[in-house]
């Protein structure tokens, strides 16, 4: 099978693509096998730059900004994981990338998981970092806190400052907060069979002080087929990493640790998993 690669360039290529009603901003960095990088809520490509730069040393990275984030203006529709996954798949198609590795963090991790569910042909390997597939995957106190947030909760924060610096409509930050509150407080209950059906080899990452309960990450890992010893029971196509001494925001900041885990997982030879009954 022919693998799509990105052409070499001395500098990042930036652009906009007309995607499902969006004018979606994206950047491409590096050279080689493509990797789609999906940011978290209230974030942008810029916020992912430390990890992006390191990943681009060995592959071609496509970093996009999802609906209402960074330089991608919001439009009149809800923000949902399913729609963001469809948008990412459409961007890949517009760039002529049939299949890529996909790494998503937090909101981007949920998007990455939906991309593998809804567009399995697009995903070669999957890295899901600090994401859930059910609401109870988060600590209940966090869900309650999110429901009480307003735009004023972000006053003076780096997240608000980044939005106002990059957004085509900096005055619309309160609208983004309301849409993301709805995203996080609407009951999330993705069928276990959808998770079991993911065929791409997957690395699940969270931390011991995450907003995601470690038990939930273990459950996701097992639904994906992880658990049996590779020493005695075949190939190891699903992996789990719980980062020690790390907060939710800290996960994406542990670049050296992520670089010790992610490239090895993406580049290792693997046998495609057998279809599950």
- C-alpha radius of gyration, the chain, whole number: 18
Amino acid 172: pLDDT: 96
Which residues are 187's β-sheet partners? none
Q: Does the predicted TM-score (pTM) go above 0.75?
A: yes
Per-residue pLDDT of the chain (277 residues; tens, 9 = 90+): 334 455 444 478 999 999 999 999 999 999 999 999 999 999 999 999 999 999 999 999 999 999 999 999 999 999 999 999 999 999 999 999 999 999 999 999 999 999 999 999 999 999 999 999 999 999 999 899 999 999 999 999 999 999 999 999 999 999 999 999 999 999 999 999 999 999 999 999 999 999 999 999 999 999 999 986 655 545 569 999 999 999 999 999 999 999 999 999 999 988 655 444 4
CATH code that applies to domain 13-267: 3.40.50.1820
Give the ranges where the chain is alpha helix by DSSP (H): 49-55, 81-94, 107-118, 140-147, 158-166, 173-185, 192-196, 214-223, 248-253, 255-267
What does residue 104 show for φ and ψ, rounded to 5 degrees?
A: -125, 140
The per-residue pLDDT for 232 is 53
Query: What tokens appear for 85 in the block?
Result: 């996954």
């Amino acid at each position: 099978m022919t693998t799509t690669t990105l052409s070499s360039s001395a500098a990042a290529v930036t652009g906009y693509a007309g995607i499902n009603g969006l004018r979606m901003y994206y950047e491409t960095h590096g050279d080689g096998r493509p990797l789609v990088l999906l940011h978290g809520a209230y974030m942008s490509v810029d916020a992912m730059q430390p990890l992006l730069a390191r990943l681009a040393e060995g592959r071609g990275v496509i970093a996009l900004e999802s609906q209402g984030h960074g330089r991608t203006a919001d439009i009149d529709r809800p923000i949902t994981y399913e729609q963001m996954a469809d948008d990412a798949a459409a961007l890949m198609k517009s760039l002529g990338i049939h299949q890529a590795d996909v790494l998503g963090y937090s909101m981007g991790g949920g998007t990455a998981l939906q991309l593998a569910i809804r567009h399995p042909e697009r995903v070669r390997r999957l890295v899901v970092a600090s994401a859930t597939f059910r609401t109870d995957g988060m600590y209940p106190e966090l869900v309650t806190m999110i429901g009480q947030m307003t735009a004023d909760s972000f006053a003076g924060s780096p997240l608000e400052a980044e939005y106002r610096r990059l957004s085509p409509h900096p005055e619309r930050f309160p609208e983004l907060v309301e849409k993301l509150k709805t995203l996080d407080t609407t009951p999330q209950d993705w069928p276990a069979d959808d998770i079991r059906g993911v065929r791409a080899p997957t690395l699940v990452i969270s931390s011991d002080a995450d907003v995601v309960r470690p038990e939930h990450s273990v459950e996701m890992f097992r639904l994906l087929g992880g658990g049996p010893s590779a020493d005695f029971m075949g190939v190891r196509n699903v992996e789990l990493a719980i980062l020690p001494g790390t907060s939710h925001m800290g996960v994406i900041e542990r670049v050296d640790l992520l670089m010790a885990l992610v490239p090895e997982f993406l580049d290792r030879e693997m046998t495609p998993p057998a279809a599950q009954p």
